[in-house]
Amino acid sequence: MSDFDLADRPTVMLLAGCFCSLQQDVEREVKLSEDLNLMVTSNRMTMKSVANLVLAVNKLSKSLSLCGRDLSDVELCGAIMDCVVEGWSNSSGTRKPVFQRCSSVHKFTVSDEYQKDFILTTGEMKLQAITLRAGNGDRKVNFEMCHYRPPCSSSIRSLTVLLSVSENLHISCSMEDGKVSLELESLTEINQEDGLDRFLFIKNTPPGGSLVSFESVKFRGWFISTSSVEIDHSVEMCQAATASRVTCFKVF
């Protein structure tokens, strides 16, 4: 069921004018945002089709607001089609959640409030957080972050991100014995069918703040963290407010 009243949508008033002319072709332009219009052409429009169109426009406007304004023409077209055309699985007839990529790759480094920087230990292929001395700045991990838009049916209201250490090495999460572990997986391609949600994190920034946290999409309530203890270099997943763990970071 929709979470808004059709009567409250300004789009309804514009489309309602089409309803009075059922016997001829109708063309109307719907302004979705400052730089995006939707042209509607149809004949013998019914009130049901008007309602369906309004629902689609509402979903589209919410989705584009999450993606921001840095979409290319191809990405914008993909976002529109993903909202208007729903995917259904053949076996059960239930909707299959799809995370849609909606931005280019951004590179950045991470440090915590204790000035620990993220590095990659090449022998064990794991992340650590250490305080780098002068002249060792080249050891910092240059992460690659790509934004993904959550499905329209998802309760997530923030951008989700894929965090990569290199082109084919990505941060992921798994659970064993009730504890979530942070891992690095080497994959040349990540498919929706393989469980994309284990690679995705919710990037949260408190209002007016400059620090960010990364919460697992698959295991909600678990965050990427470092230790407040100087000699502890671990980078692990932890639950919110875990003693001696830091979950908010500076991103450069």
Domains of the chain with CATH codes: 7-84 (no CATH), 100-251 (2.80.10.50)
Strand partners, 115: none
The answer to whether 79 and 59 have CB atoms below 8 angstroms apart is: no
Strand partners, 204: 213
Quick one: DSSP state of residue 172?
E
Which two tokens mark 77?
């077209």
Q: How many residues does the chain have?
A: 252
Query: Tens of pLDDT along the chain (252 residues)?
Result: 444 444 444 444 444 444 444 445 556 776 666 667 777 666 656 666 667 777 766 666 655 555 555 555 555 655 555 554 443 334 444 455 566 677 678 888 899 989 999 999 877 788 999 998 887 888 898 998 888 777 665 666 677 888 998 878 899 999 999 999 999 988 776 666 667 788 999 888 877 778 999 999 899 999 999 999 988 899 999 998 888 999 999 888
H-only helix segments in 20-155: 47-67, 73-84
Which two tokens mark 45?
């429009």
**How far out from the chain centre does Cα 218 lie?**
12
In angstroms, rounded to a whole number, what is the distance separating the alpha carbons of residues 174 and 240? Answer: 17
Question: pTM for the complete prediction?
Answer: 0.60
What backbone torsions phi and psi does residue 116 show, to the nearest 5 degrees? Answer: -85, 135
H-only helix segments in the chain: 10-19, 47-67, 73-84
In angstroms, rounded to a whole number, what is the distance separating the alpha carbons of residues 65 and 81? Answer: 16
